[in-house]
Amino acid sequence: MLLPIKIWGDPILKKKAQAVDRLTPADKKLIQDMFETMDAADGAGLAAPQVGVSKRIFVFRIGEERHALINPKITLRSGEVEGEEGCLSIPGVQGRVKRAKRVIVSGRDQFNKQVSFELEDGEDMGRAATCVQHEIDHLDGLMYLERAEPKSISWLIEAVDDKGEDDIILRRVSRDDILAAYKARKLPPDVHILDMLRERVERKSGK
């Protein structure tokens, strides 16, 4: 089942999520639905608060594989990497964030088994280390734009290149202007954003 994604400005995204004591059938169903929703929205990861559940659960990809982590803890961080990030809860926007290049993260999986991943951004794993840090921030009520280099924050704008092909260009914007646009529920009309998410942003009733 596809779950509606909460958009920036929703108070649940600012809350610290609760640890999961015992994995219930409802939690397992939630994880399946989060996998489905992440795929449908073409996301690299998705945290439970983004679908309205304030629990320490997230899903993510390593290449083609999908994984879930419950009560995740990063036990080692090393190196540094800086890259563009985006978020399904702030669609149409990107910004540069500094993260640890390599992390070891452990927790339980959707079968309640203790698991641990050693992740490093690079050719083999894509940006799995960055992704896990971004998702754990969601569990702590933190959005990546709060960590992003202010001058790097941009709208993703649909454009046409000189060969007449569809293109995406960046339009610099301040974090405050993005928040104002979200609060007013009015994004620039040429922002590149999935229709399913634009509907959620621009719906007047909000929730």
Give the residue numbers marked as catalytic: 135
Question: Both tokens of residue 9?
Answer: 């400005």
Q: Whole-angstrom Cα distance, residue 29 to residue 107?
A: 18
Q: Closer CB to Ni ion, residue 86 or residue 159?
A: 86
Q: Closer CB to Ni ion, residue 87 or residue 125?
A: 87
Phi-psi label, residue 185: left if phi above 0, alpha if psi -120 to 50, beta otherwise: left
Give the residue closest to Ni ion by C-beta.
87
Strand 102-108 and strand 81-85: the pairing is unpaired
What is 74-95 written as a DSSP string? EEEEES-EEEEE--TTSTTEEE
Q: Closer CB to Ni ion, residue 90 or residue 191?
A: 90
According to DSSP, residue 76 is labeled E
Shortest Å, Cβ 50 to Ni ion: 6
Contact positions vs Ni ion (CB under 5 A) = 87
